[in-house]
A = this chain, B = another copy of it.
Amino acid sequence: MSRRKAPGEPGRTTIRDVARRAGVSVASVSRVLSGTYPVSDELRRKVLTVVRELDYVTNAHASSLAGGGTPTVAVLINDITGAAFTHVAKGVESAASLRGWLTLVGTTGDDPERELALLRLMRRQGVAAVILLGGAYDHDAYQLRMARFARSLDAAGSHLVLVGRPPLEGEVPATTVDYDNEGGAYAMASHVLSAGHRRVLVLPGHAELTTAQGRLRGARRAFETYGVPFDPGLVRHGYYDYEHGYGAVEESLRQRETFTAVLAGTDVVAAGAARALRAAGLRVPEDVSVVGYDDIPLAGQLTPQLTTVHVPYEEMGRAALRAVADRRQGGGRRRGGDAAHLVLGTHVVVRQSVGPPGAGGDHVRAPSVT
């Protein structure tokens, strides 16, 4: 960061400059500024005056090295632009700054290499915790990689927190803050089924993504409960984006599949699906019902307003930070199996995108009138 001070260079003002100018010791300046030690009013006044005059701020690196410093947490996110987890980041940041902590962010772009590099980078910073946001692609290597991360951070006196994905298997020193993903999907699917729908197009997300898997499981469970046969042919996997929603519906329509409702993996996917339906001359919800997941602001802004599953993203962020703070207050790591697992609730938000089954599958030929 700061190059070695060149002879001529002014040199950032240091605690020594302040001490000298105030005619006190370096230790006294430190004590006044950190406020963790009794000092005379006289001394405080002298020091603060000089601090203001010189516009002095302590060097965070030096103070961290010496054992003081601002606790910092790192948030690792796939795409800072993705609506849902942005809210988690906000929750983390707000809770952090409430405590005077700092938040570092990094984006991984779903690349394990970058994830690893960032993790190392953050570990170097001596962060109190690394908070990983969002569902994970659960390949074979995933569990091992995460376990290694967790242990490595733990050994460095830091901690791994997983937000929005299931806990790791086995005895791994990591904390998980998750939401009832499957339960939300179950409730959402139930809502659709109880409206009378039987043929529903399911767009759970990418097949290897933990969130998609949970949402699909929840949906299947609802079908079982309702005694409705689940047609795997009506499931289409894909990324959580608008294009996937649009494309999947378009293709289904083209293949003359019959369905009266779309169970989308996220609100954004639902938005894409709804638009594809409209482009085909179908109305939502008169001809086809559409539901989403996440309850991001977009859900309330679409026409018709989207019925969806509310996920307490911001609260999850706050909970994650709280977990970290509690943990380090509790005297750092505990011995042995040092895992914690939190699950927050989800619930269906009923808006306007679900109606009774409309065209009943005839919609492939022509929009029906309700």
* Interface residues, chain A, with chain B CB atoms under 8 Å away: 1-4, 12, 55, 57-65, 67-72, 79-81, 86-87, 89-90, 93-94, 97, 102-107, 114, 118, 120-121, 123-126, 128, 152, 155-157, 242, 268, 271-272, 274-275, 278, 297-298, 300-303
Tell me the complex Cα distance, A195–B71, Å. 57
Q: Are A126 and B278 in contact (CB under 8 A)?
A: no
Q: Are B80 and A102 in contact (CB under 8 A)?
A: no
Distance in Å from the Cβ of A207 to the closest Cβ of chain B?
24
Q: Which residues on B sit within 8 Å (CB–CB) of A62? A: 61, 65
Q: Which residues on B sit within 8 Å (CB–CB) of A60? A: 61, 124-126
The 8 lowest CB-CB distance pairs between A and B, nearest first, are A61-B64, A60-B124, A1-B64, A1-B69, A61-B61, A4-B67, A1-B126, A61-B65
Q: Are A59 and B124 in contact (CB under 8 A)?
A: yes
Tell me the complex Cα distance, A1–B300, Å. 42
**A12-B156, A70-B121, A107-B90 known; A301-B59 Cβ under 8 A:** no
**A2-B157, A57-B123, A126-B2 known; A104-B107 Cβ under 8 A:** no
Q: Which residues on B sit within 8 Å (CB–CB) of A123? A: 57
Distance in Å from the Cβ of A188 to the closest Cβ of chain B?
21
User: Which residue in chain B gives the minimum CB-CB distance to A68?
Assistant: B1
User: Which residue in chain B gives the minimum CB-CB distance to A155?
Assistant: B55
Distance in Å from the Cβ of A116 to the closest Cβ of chain B?
12
Q: Are B102 and A125 in contact (CB under 8 A)?
A: yes
Q: Which residues on B sit within 8 Å (CB–CB) of A55? A: 152, 155
